[in-house]
Structure 1
Amino acid sequence: MLKLIIGNKAYSSWSLRGWLACKQSGLAFDEVVVPLFDADWQTRRAAPDIAPSGGKVPILWDGDAVVWDSLAIIDYLDGKTGGTKFWPSDPAARGFARSLAAEMHAGFAALRSRHGMNVRQIFAPETPHADVTAELERLFELWAQARARFGGDQPYLFGAFGAVDIMFAPVCTRITTYGLPTPRFAQAYVDAVIGHRWMQDWIAAAQDEEWVIDKYERPPAA
């Protein structure tokens, strides 16, 4: 059986992506949650089951095979399940979807650094920093193009829930947590992602965690 090692559900955005990928695969998997950045973290991250990734989560074990990095986990599981569960089948849609996923994977640094994921909090809305505003504009432009070209009558970016929605799911939580200004069409997409049953399961589990990382429990600095 697959084994997925993840960090705190309240805070770990990359873990959320890896976990959603496992759920999307439909394959059975064991879930191991390890608290991040506590007193034992340096020792724990050097353990044999986490060390191959350099001490980063998520990390997926499939027998002797080991995969880390959320996008790599998506691609591994896509191959393992016949290439039908994660990406659109249409070549144009598939290419656009992969481009969006790659841009999310490599970009939006200001949004991610200034607005850490915390699915247990709702902060009072504040005007975001200029660099975050610029990234939000780019984000919403990408979402608008995907919805217009490939969304059809379903609520997700390419119709059915898939890899791109997995990659953007933590951004949807950030928009919700910090009340970031969002146009109506984008808010409808955020609501659809947050309302997905797997997201609701993740958020409920995060509420039950006892671990707290103080730096993620404060609103962003101006």
Structure 2
Amino acid sequence: MSEFRLIIGNKHLSSWSLRAWLMIKRCKVKFSEIIVDLERQDVKAAILQLSPSGKVPALKHNDLLIWDSLSIGEYLAEVSPSAKLWPTDEAARAIARSVSNEMHSGFATLRKMMPFALFVQKDLPYSEELQGEIKRIEEIWLDCRSKFGQDGEFLFGDFSIADAMFAPVVLRFQTYGYKSDNRAVVDYCNAILAHPDLLEWLNSAKNN
């Protein structure tokens, strides 16, 4: 049995599971998946048998259990330093943590009005609050790319925790048909959508 076990929800429904999954894939370690059906009636009880938070994702490493996607990312960054889940530059790393935490704790309107759902097409909803959040997301992407992303396709050059945190937003934009007028934003979205690990998740999600 793999010493890493990742507890996740349905791949077509769980954006937080995707974030943790992309992080551990970046580490190139062997891990197994425990998938909890989020549509079952007793889903809370089912998850509580695996994680005290009653939510996914959670990471089991030997006898240690880590829950919450950012905590999982921080732990993986410590045990797999060669994966460079955070940028090596001190300033870039500080900003990467800032934008990751902003995504983690914010954008409630986007989550509510644009629920995560793969393989469907939905109309883009409208509210001033949602437009403001989309504008802020684009500002984050453009700022990170211009200041720290010159050496690669992602926010800080190489794929990092920050990209894992925003990858579900890119998929939401695709689901709801949102297309930015900014070429740099479009290029970043295309880079995320073409990432091999994301493509593997999407292929697996079709059968999950």
Report runs of 4+ in structure 1 exceeding 3 Å deviation. none
Instruction: Give SS of 2:46's match.
Output: helix
- 1:89-136 alpha-carbon deviations (Å, 9 max, x no partner): 111111111111111111111111110111211224x35321110001
- 1:13-40 alpha-carbon deviations (Å, 9 max, x no partner): 1000111111011211111111003123
| Shift of residue 150, structure 1, vs aligned partner | 0.8
Count of aligned pairs between the two proteins: 205
Q: Counterparts of 1:127-138 in structure 2 under 5 Å?
A: 128-138=126-136
Q: Which amino acid aligns with 1:36?
A: L
Equivalent in the alignment of 2:189: 190
Equivalent in the alignment of 1:203: 202
Q: What is the rounded CA distance, in whole Å, between the counterparts of 1:142 and 1:70 in structure 2?
A: 20
Equivalent in the alignment of 1:220: none
CA RMSD of aligned residues (A): 1.4
Equivalent in the alignment of 1:117: 116
Contact 1:4 1:61 in 2 (8 A): yes
Q: What is the rounded CA distance, in whole Å, between the counterparts of 1:114 and 1:171 in structure 2?
A: 12
Q: Which amino acid aligns with 1:123?
A: K
Structure 1 portions without partners, runs of 5+: 210-222
Instruction: Give SS of 2:81's match.
Output: coil
Equivalent in the alignment of 1:13: 15
Equivalent in the alignment of 2:40: 38
Contact 2:45 2:54 in 1 (8 A): no
Q: Which amino acid aligns with 1:156?
A: F
| Shift of residue 46, structure 1, vs aligned partner | 2.9
Equivalent in the alignment of 2:99: 100
Change in 2 beyond 3 A, CA 1:42/1:56 = closer
Instruction: Give SS of 1:5's match.
Output: strand
Q: What is the rounded CA distance, in whole Å, between the counterparts of 2:43 and 2:67 in structure 1?
A: 18
Q: Which amino acid aligns with 2:160?
A: G
Q: What is the rounded CA distance, in whole Å, between the counterparts of 1:200 and 1:83 in structure 2?
A: 23
Equivalent in the alignment of 1:26: 28
Q: Which amino acid aligns with 2:34?
A: V
Equivalent in the alignment of 1:140: 138
Q: What is the rounded CA distance, in whole Å, between the counterparts of 1:102 and 1:92 in structure 2?
A: 16
Q: What is the rounded CA distance, in whole Å, between the counterparts of 1:39 and 1:112 in structure 2?
A: 22
Contact 2:9 2:37 in 1 (8 A): yes
Q: What is the rounded CA distance, in whole Å, between the counterparts of 1:101 and 1:26 in structure 2?
A: 21
Q: What is the rounded CA distance, in whole Å, between the counterparts of 1:60 and 1:120 in structure 2?
A: 26
Contact 2:107 2:133 in 1 (8 A): yes
Q: What is the rounded CA distance, in whole Å, between the counterparts of 2:31 and 2:13 in structure 1?
A: 21
Structure 2 portions without partners, runs of 5+: none
Pick aligned residue for 2:165 from 154, 164, 167: 167
| Shift of residue 185, structure 1, vs aligned partner | 1.3
Equivalent in the alignment of 1:151: 149
Contact 1:120 1:206 in 2 (8 A): no
Equivalent in the alignment of 2:61: 62
Instruction: Give SS of 2:59's match.
Output: strand
